[in-house]
A = this chain, B = another copy of it.
Amino acid sequence: MDSDRSGVLTEVSVQEPKANPRGKAVAGAAPPPVVISTKATTTSNPKGGWRRGFAIFDLVLRLCGIAVALAATAIMGTTQQTLPFFTQFFQFQAQYNDLPTFTFFVIANAIASGYLVLSLPFSIICIVRPHLRGLRILLIILDTLMIGLAMAAAASAATIADLAQNGNSNANWAPICQQFDDFCQSITEAVQSSFAVAVIFILLVVFSSLALRRN
């Protein structure tokens, strides 16, 4: 009997009482009564409500995640800046694929966007059937992998963005943002968006875990 769905657990037991323990027939006595007991236990089921609430929040988070991840991908993928002067040796043009970290950033955020889009139907199924535990666990596992991917992309790009901004005198790496200010502005926005994507994935795992509490 699935107590999750009904909310009211009704148990009906029909019992034939055993014969008179004395083993004697009683003249004129009515046949032993059949005892029908109906035990209605009202298990209050407010849990389905919050579980569906979590599922709706999950869907909203995924929609936000898609928007933010696409924004991060687009900002990083389209930014480029060419300085209005050049020398014999340098072209003074900056775009994302000048640095392998930013290429990884674009690929990782594109994967995150695609995954979030593909996960939408499963999130909707979790709203319709909030007690599907296996599907939610599958989403937790995939979201966990995506935390790793999104955080790796955001952190590595943030490292390069910081280096481009401030440089490092110990390693003799000069900052480049004094020249490529627009480029640096764009990659900073993309990095912030990517951190937001990672946080969204963390929230997805946290709320999905909370939705797995005991009924």
Number of copies of this chain in the oligomer?
Answer: 2
A interface residue count range (under 10 / 10 to 19 / 20 to 34 / 35 or more): 35 or more
8 Å CB contacts to B: which residues of A60-100? 94, 98-100
Chain B proximity of A126: nearest CB distance (Å): 14
- Interface contact B22-A35, CB-CB below 8 Å: no
Give the CA-CA distance A18 to B194 in the complex, in Å.
71
8 Å CB contacts to B: which residues of A146-160? 147-148, 151-156, 158-160
Give the CA-CA distance A156 to B140 in the complex, in Å.
25
- Interface contact A209-B140, CB-CB below 8 Å: yes
Is A141 on the interface with B (CB-CB < 8 A)?
Answer: yes
- Interface contact B99-A170, CB-CB below 8 Å: yes
Is A21 on the interface with B (CB-CB < 8 A)?
Answer: yes
Chain B proximity of A147: nearest CB distance (Å): 5
Q: Mark A36-71, 1 if CB is under 8 A from B, else 0.
A: 010100000000000000000000000000000000
Given A15-B35, A147-B148, A151-B155, also A141-B206 (CB < 8 A): yes
Given A22-B30, A152-B154, A206-B144, also A213-B133 (CB < 8 A): yes
Give the CA-CA distance A39 to B26 in the complex, in Å.
29
